Structure 1
Amino acid sequence: MHIWGLVIALLFAVPAAADTQAVGSLDGVPIIDALDVRDITTAGVQHYWFRAGPSPVGQPWLVPVVVIKGAQPGPRLMLTAGIHGDELNGIAVLHRLAASIDPARLAGTVTLVPGLNPPGLLQSARQWTPDWTRSAPNLNREMPGKPGSSAVAGFAHRLWQGLIRPNADSAVDLHTQSRGTAYLMYAFASSPRTRRMAELVAPDIIKMDKGERGTVENTLTDDGVPAITLELGRPEMFDDTMIARGEAGLLNLMRELKMLPGKVAPPPASLFVANDIVAARATRAGWARLLLPLGALVKKDQPLAEVRDAFGTLLETVMAPAEGRINMIATDPRTDQGGTIARIVWWSPDPVCANGC
């Protein structure tokens, strides 16, 4: 082949990297419209504001980003939190990782996004809520977004195209339960590879789950990037125990990925793996009192809760609809007719449920 033909062939064989696009700064922190961590050539910690779109008052929504570039080459790990604005423990986990990971010991790049949903965080709302007068969509059902179709779809598209997808070889999206409920430390996985990732972060429960369309986890996994969702307890608080467990689990995953030195800890012996879930619901409205704690093992038809009327008269006893483990409870005792009291996870032997029913 002629030398110029070889050069042209090589140019077209190697995809060009999307440049990091800086558009200004705020208090010395660069504001960017796109990030490619391969543009960072020096080991260290970089802070950015990612411009994710305009707010209803004409000012941009700015999403905080921390990039830790390692001294050695390696994979790109994407860690996100706060896509639901009342789910806060993951933000503290990412803050701790940003302070504790030494770039000199790191192989590869960790991108931390501690606050994907600024309007939801401002209003302590699960939804993406730029104002109270409009409908409130769930940002974690909008990935990869679509420009020009709606404000939330455009916001999701900018996050996806400019920040999340280009910088991820694997990913973990951090959550808690939302207002009025609580989880154990609980991971969702959808394949053998993502189950292994979930085992390494050492939750109490892994739920094999086909997932929801438009989530960060499932959209990445479907696009060839193994990803899990990690749930860390209760909403609207910083729980130091959950935060420490989340940090330790993610560091263990990074050791498995050869991003950090050290021995990989095995999954805990107490880990409960499930592939199906069922809700225990009240048939009467009233005041509900749980009879079993979060995380308890239950038998089918075992009493879970009592529902009483305004005078304290017992209206019904809610029974467990299946044998398994309680992975979620309602923490608000005010219960509507049909309201969820708890959710129980269990393992179905049906082969079609191996990666989630």
Structure 2
Amino acid sequence: MSFRGATTRTHAPSAAFTGIDFTATGKQLGYGHVVHSDNVHDGAIIPVPVAVISSGPGPVALVVAGTHGDEYEGQVLAHELIRELDPGKLSGTVIIVPAANSPAVRGAARVSPIDAGNLNRSYPGRANGGPTEQVAALIAGELLPRADFVIDMHSGGSNSTYLPCAFIYRGPDEGLWREKVRAARLLGLPYVMVVAPMLEPGSLSSAGDLAGIPTISTELSGAGTVDRHALGAMRSGMPQLLAGLGILKDAAAAITAEPQWLELVSDSPVTSTAAGLFEPLVDLGDAVRAGQSVARVHFIDELDRSPRLYQARIDGVVGILRRPTLVAPGTHLMHIAPVLDPTGP
């Protein structure tokens, strides 16, 4: 995997952080500054925890978790990396943000309880904006330009469960796309889910694409808890990825098995048109055919009414499954992801 200027890039220390000098080697634990005046935070800052583990010149990986506070597998892995990575075993730098939207993490919520901000819809952010916009500006303006590669770790959160996958935006050009595909293979998760270019313009993946920095995401199960199998897969895959990036010494960078490649398309969602109780008729990972009944919704108050039945619109694999049982019109019950060529995209 190539890097543009990875060993020659220099940056001055930033006043936006306490405890971090990006020119220093070793392991540093500090925080970024978010300033917000309300009844709770007046005369204070909202800290965004940051760790920098560096051996000096070399490629730089930016690892982000806690973009949504109720997505936990990535947060657990980020904290493990902070504790376990040894600067003496690196040939470069790993910057880790384990709780990017720290108010959402502390509130066990998808969005910030302070300003209802969804960090993954807020990039590039505003340095003088609300708390969530400030975090986006801190990451996009201060950390992203230092990076040669970015991984943003997500999972399904409280509202859904995903197949454990690397989650990658197509494009934005052939070179970056090749680097994303190789990184997804190195990570070694069972699935790779491909989505349209710039799927969410305010996401970190889109910010990385706009900056010309290879950026991938993950979806690591979810359901508002920690899936130990997805976490175990990441524990195995992250050293392979860092080795393949040229950062982690004395670790294998082998692609051990080809993942199953899936794609989310416009016909993927199976969407409820009723309010009631969601009953899935298929499981996550099941292969389904267009027209197959995959879900039904039971009406709560109409006791003599039969449940409404829903069919898949396309052939594919159940890649995302709704978690809470209570649904409303417009709720996506599941997503069916067509299978891409087994040799990859």
Residues matched between the structures, number = 320
Larger of the two Rg values belongs to structure: 1
Query: Per residue, is there more strand in 1 or in 2?
Result: 1
Paired residue type of 1:54: H
In the other structure, the counterpart of 2:188 is 202
In the other structure, the counterpart of 2:328 is 336
Distance 1:218 1:105, change over 3 A: same
Deviates more, 1:299-308 or 1:97-106: 97-106
1:88 is aligned, of 45, 54, 72, to 72
Q: Is the 8 A contact 2:61 2:148 kept in 1?
A: yes
In the other structure, the counterpart of 1:137 is 117
Q: Are 2:43 and 1:49 aligned?
A: no
In the other structure, the counterpart of 1:320 is 312
Question: 3-state DSSP class of the match of 1:173?
Answer: strand
Instruction: Give the structure-2-normalised TM-score.
Output: 0.84
Percent identical among aligned pairs is 26
Distance 1:270 1:347, change over 3 A: closer
In the other structure, the counterpart of 1:154 is 134
> How many Å apart are 1:265 and its aligned residue?
2.8
> How many Å apart are 1:282 and its aligned residue?
2.3
Question: 3-state DSSP class of the match of 1:252?
Answer: helix
Q: Which blocks of at least 5 consecutive residues in structure 1 are unaligned? A: 1-13, 24-30
Q: Is the 8 A contact 1:66 1:98 kept in 2?
A: yes
In the other structure, the counterpart of 1:66 is 51
Please give the alpha-carbon distance, in whole angstroms, between the structure 2 residues aligned to 1:22 and 1:193: 30
Superposed, which structure 2 residues align to 1:104-253 within 5 Å?
A: 104-130=88-114, 136-162=116-142, 164-189=143-168, 190=170, 191-203=177-189, 204-210=191-197, 211-253=199-241
Moved over 6 A (4+): none
Instruction: Give the structure-1-normalised TM-score.
Output: 0.81
Paired residue type of 1:49: Y
Distance 1:55 1:95, change over 3 A: farther
Question: 3-state DSSP class of the match of 1:314?
Answer: coil
Coordinate RMSD, CA, aligned: 2.5
Please give the alpha-carbon distance, in whole angstroms, between the structure 1 residues aligned to 2:188 and 2:37: 38
Distance 1:16 1:319, change over 3 A: closer
Q: Which blocks of at least 5 consecutive residues in structure 2 are unaligned? A: 1-7, 171-176
> How many Å apart are 1:181 and its aligned residue?
1.2
Distance 1:100 1:307, change over 3 A: same
